[in-house]
């Protein structure tokens, strides 16, 4: 299987109140109950609703790719249950859909490895969706919303089973809930309001509709500790960055803005030292390799003696052990100030900090500006007309979070942007928004409308569509 295979891992994150879909769920329920002599008191209508809606969001009933659907009992009950959306009713309905030919098995269970350094894991069987189930979408995109069983905050823990590490959702212990009640409640409130805001937003990728429900997020903490991780994840994040540039939000072209070199910048601020230029620029090495190695060194646990990450670096960037050792040495020499963070398992702690930035930005756009935004970890996608608001919010978020943590003033300027090419008029307007030099008539809606109207929707390359995912798409879809 290639790294960009055209198959999506099923998720049960959505339901719909569209009458057509409700009727179909009721029809299927009657057919299923007809196979029982004694009708069970199970909520099959809701289970079919979730399945039908999720198929539509992930597949569309018209696509030329399959769905990866697990039917392992252990995932739907007990301690090995994947999450609360995996119910016994869902499994019963799935098995019946398969047995009756509504879902057709196209490929069996197999192992898959995203890249050389990643672990092998099992993928479930792939199924195509029969036109007997439906040959067109059953629900209007704006009638689709988050499955109430999906929690906005999840805690994950690593376990070793059959000599392999597996990561599973665990319940948040009462002690951790009490200690982190404010964080949990604030996250729940922001993400719930965010879903309400985004459900009325029209998102397009060329001529294709992107379901607003794909933007719904979950905040995930790691290793059974709510002080580690905490990043926000959504299904839309698996779309390739090149494809994201072609998105339109309510008809407007978009700009994606992110914090440049966010983790090294944070670390230099923590040490109250100035960062000398681009942290990933080292003579004799490709910038991309330096960035990968730097982040490996932040995330790797080298124990008390902080042992070398050269072996891992060599595997990841496909170089010799000697070259990896030279690169690691060069990074340590360039960033002597940060030496205590390398090979010390600092990554998840830093992710907690950048997740606080994301929460700040989300809260401001959702509660104050009431403007649509799509977060991709430490980057954000907005309509071009919101460029200035986003830049100001990102700077304010960084300065507030770091000042609150370190009790000092911080001025953050390392922000970069990516977008399609625009007409000269719109490009100048966006640039002034980025620089904070808009004035007077620049803020008039009519002026923005005119500039945007002169930038008609650009055709999306055939290689990029709503099914274009990064090589880490399977890992992301499992979240």
Do 144 and 15 touch, CB atoms closer than 8 A?
yes
- So what's the pLDDT on residue 474? 46
Three-state DSSP class for residue 460: coil
Are both 433 and 368 inside the same structural domain? yes
Count of C-beta atoms within a 10 Å radius of residue 180: 18
Are both 113 and 193 inside the same structural domain? no
Handedness of CA 202, 203, 209, 214 (dihedral sign): negative
| Structure-model confidence comparison of residues 78 and 283, the more confident one | 283
220 lies in some domain: yes
| Residue recorded with tokens 């205590």 | 340
Are both 164 and 23 inside the same structural domain? no
Count of C-beta atoms within a 10 Å radius of residue 332: 15
287 lies in some domain: no
Are both 376 and 465 inside the same structural domain? yes
Are both 167 and 256 inside the same structural domain? yes
Q: Is residue 179 over pLDDT 70?
A: yes
**Which residues form the domain of 52?**
7-146
Do 284 and 293 touch, CB atoms closer than 8 A?
no
Domain boundary among 95, 125, 146: 146
| Residue percentage of the chain with pLDDT more than 70 | 91
Are both 251 and 368 inside the same structural domain? yes
pTM: 0.91
- So what's the pLDDT on residue 6? 66
- So what's the pLDDT on residue 469? 46
Are both 101 and 134 inside the same structural domain? yes
Q: Is residue 446 over pLDDT 80?
A: yes
* Cα separation, 316 vs 115, whole angstroms: 8
Are both 120 and 17 inside the same structural domain? yes
Do 268 and 338 touch, CB atoms closer than 8 A?
yes
107 lies in some domain: yes
* Cα separation, 196 vs 213, whole angstroms: 10
- So what's the pLDDT on residue 15? 98
Domain boundary among 146, 181, 199: 146
Per-residue pLDDT tens over the stretch 17-66: 999 999 999 999 999 999 999 999 999 999 999 999 999 998 888 877 88
Please state the rounded mean pLDDT for residues 374-397.
Answer: 95
305 lies in some domain: no
Residues contacting 351, CB < 8 A, separation 6+: 228, 229, 230, 231
198 lies in some domain: yes
* Cα separation, 65 vs 54, whole angstroms: 15
- So what's the pLDDT on residue 467? 54
73 lies in some domain: yes
Are both 197 and 250 inside the same structural domain? yes
Are both 70 and 159 inside the same structural domain? no
Are both 259 and 119 inside the same structural domain? no
Phi, psi at residue 434, to the nearest 5°?
A: -65, -40
* Cα separation, 74 vs 84, whole angstroms: 13
Identify the weakest region by mean pLDDT among 22-36, 153-167, 305-319, 373-387.
153-167
Domains: count for the chain: 2
259 lies in some domain: yes
Domain boundary among 109, 131, 146: 146
310 lies in some domain: no
Are both 121 and 173 inside the same structural domain? no
């Amino acid at each position: 299987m290639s790294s960009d295979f055209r198959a999506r891992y099923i998720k049960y994150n959505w339901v719909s109140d569209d009458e057509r879909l409700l009727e179909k769920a009721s029809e299927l329920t009657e057919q299923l109950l007809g196979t029982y002599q004694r009708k069970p008191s199970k909520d099959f209508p809701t289970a079919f609703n979730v399945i039908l809606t999720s198929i539509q969001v992930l597949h569309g009933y018209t696509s030329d790719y399959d769905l990866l659907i697990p039917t392992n009992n252990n995932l739907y009950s007990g301690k090995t249950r994947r999450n609360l959306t995996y119910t016994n009713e869902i499994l019963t309905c799935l098995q019946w859909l398969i047995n009756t030919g509504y879902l057709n098995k196209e490929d069996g269970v197999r192992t898959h490895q995203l890249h050389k350094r990643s672990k092998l894991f099992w993928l479930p069987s792939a199924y195509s969706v029969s036109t007997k189930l439906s040959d067109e979408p059953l629900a209007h995109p704006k009638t689709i919303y988050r499955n109430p069983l999906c929690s906005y905050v999840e805690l994950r823990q690593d376990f070793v089973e059959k000599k392999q590490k597996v990561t599973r959702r665990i319940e948040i212990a009462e002690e951790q809930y009490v200690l982190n009640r404010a964080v949990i409640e604030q996250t729940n409130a922001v993400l719930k309001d965010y879903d309400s805001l985004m459900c009325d937003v029209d998102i397009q990728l060329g001529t294709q509709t992107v379901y607003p429900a794909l933007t719904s997020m979950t905040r995930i903490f790691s290793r059974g500790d709510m002080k580690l991780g905490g990043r926000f994840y959504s299904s839309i994040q698996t779309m390739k960055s090149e494809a994201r540039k072609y998105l339109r939000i309510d008809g407007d072209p978009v700009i994606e803005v992110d914090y440049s070199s966010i983790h090294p910048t944070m670390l230099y601020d923590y040490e109250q030292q100035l960062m000398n230029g681009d942290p990933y620029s080292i003579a004799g090495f490709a910038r991309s390799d330096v960035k990968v190695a730097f982040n490996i060194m932040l995330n790797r646990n080298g124990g008390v003696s902080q042992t070398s990450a050269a072996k891992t670096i060599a595997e990841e960037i496909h170089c010799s052990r000697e070259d990896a050792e030279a690169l690691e040495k060069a990074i340590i020499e360039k960033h002597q100030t940060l030496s205590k963070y390398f090979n010390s398992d600092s990554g998840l702690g830093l992710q907690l900090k950048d997740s606080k930035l994301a929460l700040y930005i989300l809260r401001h756009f959702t509660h104050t500006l009431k403007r649509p935004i799509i977060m991709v970890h430490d980057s954000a996608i907005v309509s071009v007309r919101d460029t200035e608001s986003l830049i100001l919010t990102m700077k304010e978020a960084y300065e507030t979070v770091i000042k609150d943590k370190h009790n000092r003033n911080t001025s953050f300027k390392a922000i970069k942007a990516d977008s399609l090419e625009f007409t000269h008029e719109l490009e100048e307007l966006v640039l002034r928004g980025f620089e904070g030099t808009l004035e007077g008539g620049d803020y008039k809606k009519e002026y923005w409308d005119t500039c945007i109207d002169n930038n008609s929707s650009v055709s999306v390359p055939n290689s990029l569509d709503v099914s274009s995912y990064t090589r880490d798409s399977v890992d992301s879809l499992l979240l």
